Amino acid sequence: MNYPNGKKTNNKPVTNRKPKQTPNFSNRGMTLEEDINQSNQAYLSSGRAVIHKKPTPVQIVNVDYPKRSAAVIKEAYFKQASTTDYNGIYRGKYIDFEAKETRNKTSFPLANIHEHQVEHMKKVCEQDGVCFAILRFSKLEETYFFPAKKLFQHWDRQNNGGRKSIPYQTIQQEGHFIPLQYHIRIDYLSIIDEMYF
Consult the annotation and say whether 83 binds a ligand.
yes
Is 117 assigned a ligand-binding role in the annotation?
yes
How many whole angstroms separate alpha carbon 5 and alpha carbon 47?
72
- b/e 52-74 (16+ beta carbons within 10 angstroms → b): eeeeeeeeeeeeeeeeeeeeeee
85 is in an annotated binding site: yes
Report the candidate in 22, 178, 8, 36 with the shortest Cα–Cα distance to residue 97. 36
Q: Are 108 and 100 in contact (CB under 8 A)?
A: yes
| Residue ranges at the known binding site | 83, 85, 98, 117
| Residue ranges at the known binding site for Mg(2+) | 83, 85, 98, 117
